Structure 1
Amino acid sequence: MAAPYPVNATPPAPTAAPVIRTIELSDLGEALRLGWEDFKAVPSHAIILCLIYPVLGLVLARTVLGYAVLPLLFPLAAGFALLGPFAALGLYELSYRRERGEEASAWHATEVLRSPSFGAMLGLGTLLLALFVIWVATAQAIYVAAFGYEAAAGIPDFARRVLSTPQGWWLIVVGCGVGFLFALVALCISVVSFPLMLDRHAGAAGAMVTSLQAVAANPVPMAAWGLIVAGLLVIGSLPFFLGLAIVIPLLGHATWHLYRKVIEPITVSHAPPPLAKVPRYAADFPVSLFQWRRKDS
């Protein structure tokens, strides 16, 4: 894979705004393929970085069932789409290292913590977390509006309410519509933000603006990418969230390669260094007119 600048060379500090490319739907498949190659090359990180997500999913499911707030199980699972871009920081670092031809192992994922822009990443991650909390609260309010505060007796009763009553159909339509809006906001502000901050040490505000511009320049591919992310997260969540151990690394690596396709890489100028100035003295005035005699002497 060609690196955007020579291996072992320090990229220049960007002074101009990132150049956004127009991509095709085929580029999404290529990004997923390259992401899968990264996942196969560094498979050990799936356990270290992503084991927390299936475990968290199981804990959330048990908590939901235990406290009789079963309606929140789906919104909590859907929240992975909102927090995923921030959770995949270590995966971007691994893809970045492989791209530069450097050693990449699970432990190298923690190098992202030393990034000069980690504070900006943390700030944007906090924004996504707030978005997740607001989404869960909104989902709870929608359920209460449909069925009131009476808790479901169990999974069969909850399924009957949602799937066989007018209130349940209203809940599905409104809940999915509102959830789509939350996911759209998260996609627009973060689709290339975190890779851009890692690659060019951009600020959070500038990265979000670039992400919005990238979505505006590629509305159809970005919409398709959002559907791909949502579909893969649903598939990964079905077997008790265990599939997320594969889906999240795949999407994390693929997001890095999508960023490379959307944002024009930085090029390094190989201009020759300026000539060193030789001090001139007044006594050298006659000789300086004849440089060849000066060299011989």
Structure 2
Amino acid sequence: MTKTIGNPLTWLAGTTASASRSASDAADALGSEITTPPEVRQLDMDDVRTALRKGLADFTAFRSDVFFLIAIYPVIGITLALLAFNSARLPMLFPLAAGFTLLGPVAAAGLYEMSRQRETGQDPNWAEALHALRAHVLGPVLVLALYLMGIFAIWMFAATYIYNITLGPLPPLSVTGFLSDVLTTTAGWQMILLGMGTGFVFAALVLVISLVSFPMLIDRRAGIPVAVMTSVAVARRNPRIVATWGLIVAVSMTIGMLPAFLGLVIVLPVLGHATWHLYRAAVPKER
């Protein structure tokens, strides 16, 4: 029988039913029948070097696709910087840039999927990678991303509070005046030390809960609780390696912000692919 388009009410009903099924699948995927995280491996510096080498190889293989995938990242960074200047929120520029890196694991979700497909012998592109983030994957990833965005918001609130009790609460009159106050006054150095100490806590928290959780959610139907517990288990068993990895990420992202966040076009995909391979080294494949 020839299939016709049908009337608008029929189309609307079909579209609504399809959306409902997708939403239901995404909601069901937030949990998992698995109640305990898998065993995790002991890591060493060879695993870190191997992950970085494989990450660079993936970046080279997917260069054009990767550029497209993460093009929005430096654009958002530049937008945030301009917003800080235009809204007289200059003191928040550095916290914005530093806190923005907390969202890196979210931006790298498509990169994890591309690395996953490549290790199975496929030759994926960005469209296939995004298509693979279907409902049972996308739901948990988005929910965990919301948690990271919440941490980012709390960090910005903390940074504002630190500025208010040191150099604030009035905004600076000029860029040069602000830099002078930051670098040559006691209050400025108090702001730097308090900000760096608080930022370290936020960065460590995000590193521990997201190091392997995002790759794991893409790799298997583990559910958010198990994925986060697995990430914590990796950090607990490998504190020195995880701390080293965090330092590598922090330094690389800092370099990548120069000039004007555009270096992230290279840094982010390499780190994203490398994080997938570090996950593979830390968490055994499903049998």
TM-score by length of 1: 0.83
CA distance in 1: counterparts of 2:271 and 2:187, whole angstroms: 35
| Structure 1 outlier segments of 4+, above 6 Å | 13-16
What secondary structure is seen at the aligned counterpart in 2 of 1:79? Answer: helix
Q: Which structure 2 segments of 5+ residues have no match? A: 1-32
Aligned equivalent of 2:118 = 98
Cα pair distance change 1:261/1:194, threshold 3 Å: same
What secondary structure is seen at the aligned counterpart in 2 of 1:264? Answer: coil
What amino acid sits opposite 1:166 in the alignment?
T
User: 1:138-194, CA deviations, whole angstroms, 9 ceiling, x for partnerless residues?
Assistant: 101100110122211222111101111001111111100000000011011110001
2:152 paired with 1:152: no
**Does structure 2 conserve the Cα–Cα contact (< 8 Å) formed by 1:57 and 1:77?**
yes
**Does structure 1 conserve the Cα–Cα contact (< 8 Å) formed by 2:35 and 2:226?**
no
Cα pair distance change 1:110/1:31, threshold 3 Å: same
Which residue, 99, 110, 115 being the options, matches 2:130? Answer: 110
Cα pair distance change 1:115/1:39, threshold 3 Å: farther
User: 1:82-126, CA deviations, whole angstroms, 9 ceiling, x for partnerless residues?
Assistant: 111111100001000100011211222212431523211111110
State the Cα distance separating 1:19 from its structure 2 match: 1.9
What secondary structure is seen at the aligned counterpart in 1 of 2:133? Answer: helix
Q: Choose 1 or 2 for highest CA Rg.
A: 1
What amino acid sits opposite 1:207 in the alignment?
A
Larger CA deviation: 55-64 vs 135-144 = 55-64
CA distance in 2: counterparts of 1:70 and 1:30, whole angstroms: 40
State the Cα distance separating 1:62 from its structure 2 match: 1.1
Aligned equivalent of 2:283 = 263
Aligned equivalent of 2:81 = 61
State the Cα distance separating 1:200 from its structure 2 match: 1.3
2:40 paired with 1:20: yes
Aligned equivalent of 1:210 = 230
What secondary structure is seen at the aligned counterpart in 2 of 1:149? Answer: coil
**Percent identity, aligned pairs only?**
45
2:253 paired with 1:233: yes
**Does structure 1 conserve the Cα–Cα contact (< 8 Å) formed by 2:66 and 2:111?**
no
Aligned equivalent of 1:179 = 199
TM-score by length of 2: 0.86
User: 1:26-59, CA deviations, whole angstroms, 9 ceiling, x for partnerless residues?
Assistant: 2111101100000000011233211111111111
**Does structure 2 conserve the Cα–Cα contact (< 8 Å) formed by 1:80 and 1:233?**
no
CA distance in 1: counterparts of 2:87 and 2:176, whole angstroms: 16
CA distance in 1: counterparts of 2:239 and 2:35, whole angstroms: 27
Which is richer in helix?
2
Q: Which structure 1 segments of 5+ residues have no match? A: 1-12, 268-297
CA distance in 2: counterparts of 1:15 and 1:240, whole angstroms: 44
**Does structure 2 conserve the Cα–Cα contact (< 8 Å) formed by 1:27 and 1:258?**
yes
